Homo-oligomer: A and B are copies of this chain.
Amino acid sequence: MSTTVIIGGVAGGMSTATRLRRNDENMNIIVLESSGYVSFANCGLPYFIGGEITKRSNLLLQTPQSLKARFNLDVRTGSTATHINRAEKTVTVDGPEGTYELNYDNLVLSPGARPLTPPIPGIDKAFTLRTVEDTDRIVHTISTTEAKKAVVIGGGFIGLELAENLIKQGIDVTIVERAPHIMAPLDAEMAAIVTAHLEKSGVTILSNTQVTAIEDGVVHAGERKIPADTIIAALGVQPASDLAQQAGLELNEHGGIVVNSRQQTSDPAIFALGDAAQKTDAISGTATMVPLAQTANRHGRLVADIITGRNTEAQPVLGTAIIGLFGLAIATTGWNERRARAEDKNVRVIHSHPANHAGYYPGATSLNLKLIVDAEDDSILGAQAIGHDGVDKRIDIIATAMRARLKASDLADLELAYAPQFGSAKDPINMLGFINDNIIRGERTVQWHELDTTLQEGWTLVDVRTPSEYDRGSIPNAINIPVDELRDRLSELDGKKVLVHCQVGLRGHIACTLLSNNGIECANLDGGYITWKFGQATRS
């Protein structure tokens, strides 16, 4: 009877354990979990703090007892693996029963990640959130101290989710973000949409701001001293790979455990997965770290299959992710523009701001979409979506298209479900494909950040919206010629190079084809006034 020891009993580890049992009734399967809980809903922790999830027991999806009953697993909580002896194939365990050794035939490392705590004086006064115990501490403090003011250090997913949930508990929240904008997976002009929404929802955001010290009740951030009774450090995570390192397993530059496509570490009897393990980037094929629950779960199943003799391999990852914040959904997949440009890609970028479903049906809301395409081969590099409804759907469609290596132009012809409550006869995804196709066929677009230099090159900026739209807010130096008057006013633009824009880009496209077909050199401001406006916010 072979023994598999699994270190880590949450997403990846427990998926491995239960699949192992389904594949092999006789294997000895031991799961070691340092914390007091296994298989808990880690993505739900912020929502318990905010009171959205009301029962603590709802976070605890399984217990060692339930896992014994259903899967005959030997699950040991409060049990930390302290040493791996690869030659002897043993693990030293420090648990409630003392210290002991376990033999293994296969060892699975799914230790997860731990919150980054940079060397800021007083950082130990800040809470972090990773485990049920962390959650209990935050809930206890909030409820016993009548917390009123919180500082969240770090504007990533966890920090933002916590900000929302602290606000729901009636606590003032300031987010301090070192980078130029929150939500690093987004590009700046897209992050500006989120920032505006958070600020409208009562969150104070200080970007480009470094926390230098934490004292009792005060966070020193840049020049400011921010009073705070609750301080949370949400600065990202690092792989919990100490044990792997001690065992001499190969780590990458981020401290991630290096694995092959079978999730094997440099020791073929030791597998690694989840937040601590290296992944392969789906676009570049290079090593990457993507700490996401769904990947851990899928790789858990895979590792179990490989251990029980199946010949299979992990797929590279896109890093598809989503977050909900005060009713807004923000999702991404693949690379952002920043990354694509850093990798020297010839980037084609498309912004659009369509309605989530047919505008004539009540309740339509705006989506903000961004598609990043490799102009060399029309492959999709990534996408970002922000809106109130239909965001997850659009990103999942693009993630599926990317996985299947569809081209950006193929989005034009996807056959998506249409009824006026659910989409549009030309779905926003189709529209992205159409816009992409138009650009391939020669339509020139100018990005929001290229506007100034384009105008400096002598282009004339024409706002083709209605006069009332123009009056409500316009781009400096734009002259207003509504698209429906353009055909009769061509003489005003004779001999000029014309940069047109509308609200979102669609009328601009119509205007641009009209001008081009009349022999006037033309470009369209991508994403129109809306993208430009959010772009301006990145400069403040």
Query: When the two chains form the complex, which single residue of B403, B404, B418 contacts A294, counting CB atoms closer than 8 Å?
Result: B418
Query: When the two chains form the complex, which single residue of B11, B53, B320, B423 contacts A416, counting CB atoms closer than 8 Å?
Result: B320
Across-interface contacts of A358 in B (CB, < 8 A) = 41, 43-44
A190 to chain B, nearest CB (A): 15
The count of identical subunits is 2
Are the CB atoms of A59 and B25 closer together than 8 Å? no
Q: When each residue 50-78 of chain A gets 1 if its CB lies under 8 Å from chain B and 0 otherwise, what string results?
A: 00111000110100001001111000000
Say whether A420 faces chain B, with CB atoms less than 8 Å apart.
Answer: yes
Say whether A212 faces chain B, with CB atoms less than 8 Å apart.
Answer: no
Across-interface contacts of A72 in B (CB, < 8 A) = 487
Are the CB atoms of B298 and A361 closer together than 8 Å? no
Q: At the interface with chain B, which of A198-206, A225-233, A425-433? A: A425-433
Say whether A329 faces chain B, with CB atoms less than 8 Å apart.
Answer: yes
- Show 14 A/B contacts (Cβ-Cβ < 8 Å), sorted by A: A21-B513, A26-B517, A44-B360, A52-B361, A53-B362, A70-B510, A294-B415, A294-B427, A315-B413, A322-B419, A393-B396, A397-B397, A399-B417, A404-B405
Q: When each residue 169-181 of chain A gets 1 if its CB lies under 8 Å from chain B and 0 otherwise, what string results?
A: 0000000000000
Q: When each residue 295-315 of chain A gets 1 if its CB lies under 8 Å from chain B and 0 otherwise, what string results?
A: 111100100000000000001
Are the CB atoms of A418 and B293 closer together than 8 Å? yes
A303 to chain B, nearest CB (A): 14
A308 to chain B, nearest CB (A): 11
Are the CB atoms of A360 and B59 closer together than 8 Å? yes
A124 to B392, CA, bound (A): 46
Interface centre among A25, A317, A392 (most CB of B within 10 A): A392
Say whether A246 faces chain B, with CB atoms less than 8 Å apart.
Answer: no
Beyond A294-B427, A397-B397, is A420–B43 a contact (Cβ under 8 Å)? Answer: yes
Are the CB atoms of A419 and B53 closer together than 8 Å? no
A41 to B424, CA, bound (A): 11
Are the CB atoms of B399 and A322 closer together than 8 Å? no
Are the CB atoms of A414 and B403 closer together than 8 Å? yes
Are the CB atoms of A421 and B324 closer together than 8 Å? yes
Say whether A347 faces chain B, with CB atoms less than 8 Å apart.
Answer: no
A426 to B323, CA, bound (A): 17
Across-interface contacts of A361 in B (CB, < 8 A) = 44, 47, 52-53
Are the CB atoms of B44 and A322 closer together than 8 Å? no
Query: When the two chains form the complex, which single residue of B24, B70, B517 contacts A484, counting CB atoms closer than 8 Å?
Result: B70
Across-interface contacts of A25 in B (CB, < 8 A) = 513-514, 517-518
Are the CB atoms of A320 and B417 closer together than 8 Å? yes
Are the CB atoms of A333 and B415 closer together than 8 Å? yes
A52 to chain B, nearest CB (A): 6
A423 to B297, CA, bound (A): 13
10 closest cross-chain pairs (CB), A and B:
A404-B404, A25-B517, A322-B417, A393-B393, A69-B484, A22-B513, A392-B422, A293-B425, A294-B418, A400-B400
Are the CB atoms of B430 and A414 closer together than 8 Å? no
Beyond A396-B393, A406-B404, A513-B22, is A321–B44 a contact (Cβ under 8 Å)? Answer: no
A294 to B23, CA, bound (A): 45
Say whether A213 faces chain B, with CB atoms less than 8 Å apart.
Answer: no
Interface residues of A in 334-389 (CB under 8 A from B): 358, 360-362
Are the CB atoms of A396 and B416 closer together than 8 Å? yes
Are the CB atoms of A425 and B52 closer together than 8 Å? no
A29 to B461, CA, bound (A): 30
A297 to B71, CA, bound (A): 52
Say whether A483 faces chain B, with CB atoms less than 8 Å apart.
Answer: yes
